[in-house]
Chains A and B, each alone.
Chain A
């Protein structure tokens, strides 16, 4: 070989190698973030307000507690500088936030590849990072990582998602921590409840078609599955624990078409304010099923028994057991039978349906396959729990664990959950999750909540779990009455119960016993602008006395009293009146003798309704008792409060 040629070859290769070597440092030097930082310094110079330019170099936030390094601030240079409000992205400051950016960093909330310094790697889903930047619509899911079960005002979507998950009873099939199971009707005796098998067939085909706001999802069953399941369910004629239905009284059959009888039913129906919970043709409360078309679905005997005592047929239902007499219950049944009929209902064809020989086994298999027993109880042998996946850490689901089927969905956890919630069968034929008719906002809310369920172990000092509600279970007679009338569905007691009606924890310190006694008999609205009122539960006198006794001995706060040396006299009353009208202008919200605003309750008979200790303490600090009340805390002097109390106490009910 020619030695000269070899030398030339050697030289050329060396030069090529050297050039190749130079590529790496050059690439290093021309990284995009350097350009952005120079750009920032130029932008800042042009601004009228004075902003310090940055020195060129990588910037990062190191959060030792969370063991995270976020280099987002390399480009997002104005993140904590309010002077840069008008600057272009990525130099804008962060919107108002409750967390110190230095203490939390960025990716703990926004996710994304905080270690990276290139746009695509940071912001877009990439194969090399499981948690790409969270879209803005799901950002509240990160709040839920630390603020567990806390209902923050600023996380409406997260709160809504949790409510929806509880409302739709997702926990019937999935384990989701912190969410309780909802009431779902048990199916024992459904064969004696439903008038017509066809109704059940249509219902199973598409529940929302019959009841648009139903919580029952569409299981997308085939026609033969529907038929088998309907046969299976219709075979359950007897009720749980050997309960039998009481026969309708003769008065029902005698009078059921008479106007007076129906009117009585309608009056009782109104007095009981059934509409607070049950809607009728979409108007009314959302707590219980719409009663429109009920008479075309359910047998009258069942309705009568249910109105008389709901818990007999559905032990866990929250509907109160009203104190109706047999005749009244029958009248209500007659009213429902005459009014809530589906007039479009097809005439019964009269053809007798004969189920297949093995309908029971097949029906049971279907019942188990779709895990109907996850929500509906049914006492039959062979029903087993066939739950769906555990969702307690769904937000941390690894991308490789997800079966994407034939979808074109971007491979991210949030896209997966979103698609699954919107159309559950998208990812393959074997999935059995039913379809819910959800609006886009509801899909977003549910996705947000599910995303907040992470396996991530955050330091204890970051976590803000809400105080766990202590279930107060009342015992004895009082417990039975509370249970019967479902008081805690609306009212709360010692931090547990509903949030619809006022808290009862210290009710006896607030309200006068005589007033309460009368109120139980005829409830009315306290505030003119609030239409809702407590239903007339038709409580017996004996029960009222037991309740009042309990209120007066337990449900009070000993600290709520007026000062010992307080004496009411005419002078104090007059002074109170003038303070009421002139100094504090209370009449702008409260009505007295037909004059005043209608935001607060009228005070005409407040002297008979309220106790002086309550009025006095309320005036000193209203928010102490109802944190959300809009009554201003005026910081009035003690003497003023006492005088106004004296004035209000003088506004007693006059017997006419």
Chain B
């Protein structure tokens, strides 16, 4: 405790954390929340009954936690992965047989992804049945829908990356469906595949989508989503 107290007095600590210790008054407490990026997701004051489990089932937060988990495991997986043929599939084999805890890493990523789709979907159901989409939260509902779509797209683009039979045919079927979009269908398919059939460029495109473009939008929209929760009046 003594060391902590001393630490809190140093210039470095004080330059990082604005709030002066000790925290005694209500103002101090609210300043802690107010001055922190992560904590100010909640209003300064939250009533205990407002965070009751049965209100939200914590589904949004679980989804977000899974997303963080996916980012961490995903970055680690990127260290062992080359988006090239036939290396992509061989890399799966390396992860399974050679990389320390490689299977664990990959399974974590895969199961988290499946779980995230489920929790995001349940989250949406919860919002719907509790009527939490009603004004003033209608815009956040829309953001939520977009987030669901991005989640599904992330799952889908990740599906191709192992480059096995399952992924190959999933992408074949998916891109063939895209083809039936009127007017632009053919063009979109060409854009996605990076050519007229699945090949090296498809893999690279899906890789970039999966690891850069979609997560970037996801992070931005999540931030917006959270910010809107607060601005629209907090939870429930």
Contacts and interface: CB of A to CB of B under 8 A. Distances in A.
Interface stretch (B16-24, B100-108, B134-142, B211-219): B100-108
A628 B97 CA distance: 50
Q: Secondary structure of the A side of the interface?
A: loop
Contacts of B94: 115
A400 B172 CA distance: 15
B103 A58 contact: no
B90 interface: yes
B68 interface: no
B164 interface: yes
Taking each of A24, A25, A67, A113, which has the highest tally of chain B beta carbons within 10 Å of its own beta carbon? Answer: A24
Contacts of B96: 116
Nearest to A113: B93
Contacts, number: 28
A67 B85 CA distance: 11
Interface in B135-161: none
A171 interface: no
Interface in B53-98: 86, 90, 93-94, 96-98
Interface string B90-128: 100110111011011000000000000000000000000
Contacts of B104: 24
B101 A115 contact: no
B79 to A, nearest CB: 17
Taking each of A28, A115, A116, which has the highest tally of chain B beta carbons within 10 Å of its own beta carbon? Answer: A115
A121 interface: yes
B165 interface: yes
A121 B94 CA distance: 13
A115 B86 CA distance: 13
Given A69-B90, A400-B165, A116 B101 contact: no
Nearest to A116: B97
Interface string A22-37: 0011011000000000
Taking each of B97, B100, B101, which has the highest tally of chain A beta carbons within 10 Å of its own beta carbon? Answer: B97
A117 B100 contact: no
B98 A117 contact: yes
Given A69-B90, A113-B93, A24 B98 contact: no
A118 B98 CA distance: 11
Contacts of A71: 97-98
Nearest to B90: A115
Contacts of B98: 58, 71, 115, 117
B93 A25 contact: no
A28 B164 CA distance: 24
Interface string A2-29: 0000000000000000000000110110
A128 B166 CA distance: 10
Taking each of B93, B96, B103, which has the highest tally of chain A beta carbons within 10 Å of its own beta carbon? Answer: B93
Contacts of A115: 90, 93-94, 97-98
A278 B164 CA distance: 55
B93 A116 contact: yes
Given A58-B98, A115-B90, 9 more contacts: A24-B101, A25-B101, A116-B93, A116-B96, A116-B97, A117-B97, A117-B98, A121-B97, A400-B165
